[in-house]
Amino acid sequence: MSLLRDLVATAGDALRLSSDLMRYKVEVQAQALKRGVGRLGLCLSLYLAAALVIGTGVGFILYGVFILVARATGLGPAGLIVGVFLLLIAVVLLLAGRSAAKKL
* Residue 49 to residue 10: CA distance in whole angstroms: 58
Q: What is the total count of domains within the chain?
A: 1
How does pLDDT run across 14-67, given as a tens digit for each residue? 778 778 788 888 898 989 999 989 899 999 999 999 999 999 999 999 999 999
Report CA torsion sign: 31, 33, 35, 41.
Answer: negative
How does pLDDT run across 73-87, given as a tens digit for each residue? 999 999 999 999 999
Is the pTM here over 0.85, yes or no?
no
pLDDT at res. 1: 61
Residue 55 structural domain: 2-103
